[in-house]
Amino acid sequence: MSVSTRRLQKELTDIQKQGTPVGIKLLNADDFQTWHLSLEVLGDTVYQGEVFALKFRFDSSYPISSPAVQFVVDDTWKAPVHPHVYSNGHICASILGNEWSPVLSVISVCVTLQSMLASCKKKELPPGNDRYVKNAPENPKKTRFEYHDDNV
């Protein structure tokens, strides 16, 4: 069994044993390549009542390499309107790029994104959204974002 599979197996066991934090639910984790989780921001925020789905993709060198994380955009799910989330679901967050560290996990990434949404005051799309969405690669990890905002 590869390191990534073993590590994801442990994370899965932890989720099953200890449950997930409030507002985060595991939708499916059928294999060790793609997981889906749902994300809801509780309390008085601009996203009240909205539920989003996150897609995690892992490669064989996880957790050395970061997972590819994006919001699901399809018939059922929409990406949140947020200055760091493009309308195709790609997220500009430093912890998914240069701030990634193996100490992070699926759940801690969800929690960080949850608090990113919770702290948003005004729903607006990132600047240059249309241009990005038109040219964006399928996998968000292949985009090199510039993190200009430290409180992401």
Partner 1 sequence: MYSEHHVPTVDDLRVKLCFICREEERYDNPEDPPRVWTHPCSCTLVAHESCLLQWIQAAQQDPSKAGNALKCPQCGTRYELESHNPFVLRLLDNVNKSISIVGKFVSVAGIVGIGVSFGFGVYVVCTAYGSYAVKVFLGKEMYDLLLTDDLSNWPWHAFVNLPFIPLSLILSRTRFFTSLPLIPLFLPWASTPPVASTQSMMAARWNPLVRKAPVYPSAPLFGWPPSPIVITIAYSILTSFYRRGYSTLKHWILGTPSNAQHTIREVIWDLGGHARIGVNINDGEHPANQDQQAAQGEQAPANGDAGQEQAGDNDPGVVAERTLRVTNASLGRFISGALMMPTIANCMGAILLRLSRHSRLLQRFLAVRPPMRGGVPPTLASWLEAQPWGEMSYMRQVATGLKVALDLVCGGTRTWEECDPVWWRNSIGLGIYIVAKDCIQLLHLYLAKRELETRRIKNRSFEGIDVKELDLIDRSLRS
Q: Which residues are catalytic?
A: 92
* CB-based contact 66:57 (threshold 8 Å): no
How far apart are the C-alpha atoms of 93 and 152, rounded to whole Å?
6
Kindly report whether the peptide bond that precedes residue 63 is cis, defined as omega within 30 degrees of 0: yes
User: Which residues of the chain form contacts with partner 1 (CB under 8 A)?
Assistant: 2-3, 5-7, 10-11, 33, 57-61, 63-65, 68, 97-105, 127-128, 131-132, 135-139, 141-146
Output the smallest distance, CB 44 to partner 1, in A. Answer: 31
Of 15 and 41, CB closest to partner 1:
15
Which pair of structure tokens corresponds to residue 4? 């990534």
In the complex, least distance from residue 38 CB atom to partner 1, rounded to whole angstroms: 22
Q: How far is the CB of 144 from partner 1 (least distance, A)?
A: 5
Note whether 46 and 119 are within 8 A (CB).
no
Q: State phi, psi for 69 to the nearest 5 degrees.
A: -120, 135
CB-based contact 121:83 (threshold 8 Å): no
